[in-house]
Structure 1
Amino acid sequence: MTEAMRQPVLLATDLSPRSDRALDRALLLARSWRVPLVALTVVPTGAGLVTHPVLALSSDAVAQRAARRQAERRLRADLADATVPPIVHVEQGEVTSTVLAVAQAERCGLIVTGVARHEALARMLLGSTVETLARRAPLPLLVVRERARQGYTQVLVTTDFSEHARHALQTAAALFPEAAFTVFHAFGNPYPLLAGMDVEQVRQAGRAAAEEQARLFLDATPLPTAVRAGIRLRLAYGDPGLLLREHGAEHPGELVVLGTQRRSGLTGLLLGSVAERVLELAQSDVLVVPPQSSA
């Protein structure tokens, strides 16, 4: 077992029905890795109470305490059949900061959450809590969309051949060493198209350049022998978000992995336009991996 699989798993749930998928996945991972499950729900303060599934009639101190008690009852009821004894947290405050504070206090190695709203409204949600977590979390974030029927057996790692993409691949290999890995790269034209150029010839040149970059990238990436032996390379021309959405429809249950990068001169993280589109459009579960700490 790797060090990445020895730390507690944090489930961040808003207690909505679609969060049940994240709960099932978090339980499966904690049971498989034999680590504690930390289950957290955050009850907003003040007027935010009315937007939470645990409704309160007012925002006074009595209503706040009642909302917390009701949230804890619901969370414990959701976990009643858990085969892993959970550590339950019901907190109040700003959601993202609270999730990160609990993750740090419990020394968690992975945050698991879900897309709680209907997919047609996913962008609204990703523009708030999930996307903010993906930008700020110093540990991997698993965004669950699919039902957790089994452990991940197929993992697709997106890459732009950068160091943060390398770290994402290594992290996924450490977390899921028995899965079959595909390294995915969406390429474009290697130079601007001019009048009279053969479009197909230019595209083939782009593929050839991508194949060489991929070979150099994989050769320079330390990986477990078993993972390296089974890696497949998938190169495709076009928009990565749309390509991965189509791929996910054909490969349900496959985990998509993407890396984030650190903003220059800042402590925050930058998803980047490609990562944002993947997180927004992918139909599969997505593992967001932050850059390796320099500490």
Structure 2
Amino acid sequence: MSNPAVPRHILLATDLSSRSDRALDRAVLTARQWQARLIALTVVENEPIDAATSVLARATGHIGGAHLRKARAERRLRADVLGETDLPLMPMVEQGPVTETVLTVANAEDCGLIVTGVARNEALSRVVLGSTVDALVRRSTVPLLVVRNRARVPYRHVIVASDFSESSRHTLQRTATDLFPDADITLFHAFGNPYPAIGGVDQTKIRADGLAQAEREAEAFIQACELPESTRARLRTWLEHGDPGMLLNAHGQEHPDDLVVLGTRQRGGVLGLLLGSVAQRLLELAENDVLVVPNGA
């Protein structure tokens, strides 16, 4: 039986490159798991055409290079996704600015999750999935799944990064109760020194005091969360001293199939959703797939 709390429509944003194959596989796997409809979207930007495309345009009688790019993208997209005949799937090719188009389609199709891949240091024409992912993270009002690894099985272990704020409480509740009710959940919090080093007090004691404080805060945080008893029973905590980005990076190298979840906080007006410097660093350094959950999504 399907879970009524999970998204019924999922949007895959793909640039049709080989690196997007992992995002496609994860989107298909998740759509099957959630019994959701999958929309596979690629966006053709308005760009000057190259010499080869210009020659092809003249040979085929099409003056507009964008028309050819859109037709070619649609053929490639259909070849990629139409083999998945056991789930409701709709390929879609749109033209325009990437970020605006992805968000517009997600809203129009009532998508509760956007799935995309990542790339760094690529030319702009190759980046739905580099700089544009930053824009999607900040502006999306629905959860955004950034895929790095191969999709072998549904996520079985989910790590929710928390600063014990109200926003991260929402993230834990949404993740554990609605999106992944059957997965093992770990609440992750990286703490620093609770007070400046004082002469005669060694680092071991300082870190022990920091851990004790983090344990008290974590217990209070969990008690304040609205979680089913079944979720509380399988919830674990990971409290560790150090840089959160480096800790998650090291964890991901050993456990690449885990999912890391981050929350954003809402700020009114044109400022939209803010990720925060710590969460931004986690997103950049994580070796795992990362789900970004806007506060209120």
* TM > 0.5: yes
Choose which of 54, 66, 69 in structure 1 pairs with 2:68.
66
Q: Does 1:25 align with 2:29?
A: no
Unmatched 5+ residue regions in structure 2?
Answer: none
Q: Does 1:43 align with 2:47?
A: no
Choose which of 161, 165, 168 in structure 1 pairs with 2:168.
165
Q: Check whether the contact 2:32–2:87 (CA below 8 A) recurs between aligned residues.
A: yes
| Count of aligned residue pairs for this structure pair | 284
Choose which of 146, 149, 169 in structure 1 pairs with 2:149.
146
* Distance in 2 between residues matched to 1:272 and 1:220, nearest whole Å: 23
Choose which of 196, 200, 212 in structure 2 pairs with 1:208.
212
TM (normalized to structure 1)? 0.90
C-alpha distance after superposition, 1:34-79 (max 9, x if no partner) = 11101100011023x66xxxx8449995211010000000000001
Q: Check whether the contact 2:11–2:38 (CA below 8 A) recurs between aligned residues.
A: yes
Opposite residue 77 of structure 2, the aligned amino acid is: L
Q: Using the TM superposition, name which of 92-101 and 56-65 deviates more.
A: 56-65
* Distance in 2 between residues matched to 1:210 and 1:265, nearest whole Å: 34
Opposite residue 30 of structure 2, the aligned amino acid is: L
C-alpha distance after superposition, 1:190-220 (max 9, x if no partner) = 1122333321111111111100000000001
Larger Rg: 2
Q: Check whether the contact 1:8–1:35 (CA below 8 A) recurs between aligned residues.
A: yes
Opposite residue 283 of structure 2, the aligned amino acid is: L
Q: Does 1:182 align with 2:186?
A: yes
* Distance in 2 between residues matched to 1:2 and 1:198, nearest whole Å: 51
Q: Does 1:249 align with 2:257?
A: no
Choose which of 236, 243, 251 in structure 2 pairs with 1:239.
243
Deviation at 1:6, TM superposition (A): 4.2
Q: Check whether the contact 1:126–1:280 (CA below 8 A) recurs between aligned residues.
A: no
Aligned to 2:100: 97
* Distance in 1 between residues matched to 2:207 and 2:248, nearest whole Å: 19
Aligned to 2:79: 77
Deviation at 1:225, TM superposition (A): 2.3
The residue matched to 1:244 in structure 2 has which SS? helix
* Distance in 2 between residues matched to 1:44 and 1:212, nearest whole Å: 51
The residue matched to 1:4 in structure 2 has which SS? coil
Opposite residue 104 of structure 2, the aligned amino acid is: A
The residue matched to 2:33 in structure 1 has which SS? helix
Q: Check whether the contact 1:115–1:143 (CA below 8 A) recurs between aligned residues.
A: yes
Choose which of 196, 203, 226 in structure 2 pairs with 1:199.
203
* Distance in 1 between residues matched to 2:110 and 2:29, nearest whole Å: 19
Q: Check whether the contact 1:109–1:139 (CA below 8 A) recurs between aligned residues.
A: yes
Unmatched 5+ residue regions in structure 1?
Answer: none
Superposition map of 1:3-22 within 5 A: 3-22=4-23
* Distance in 1 between residues matched to 2:17 and 2:130, nearest whole Å: 18
Deviation at 1:31, TM superposition (A): 1.1
Q: Check whether the contact 2:7–2:111 (CA below 8 A) recurs between aligned residues.
A: no
Q: Check whether the contact 1:17–1:116 (CA below 8 A) recurs between aligned residues.
A: no
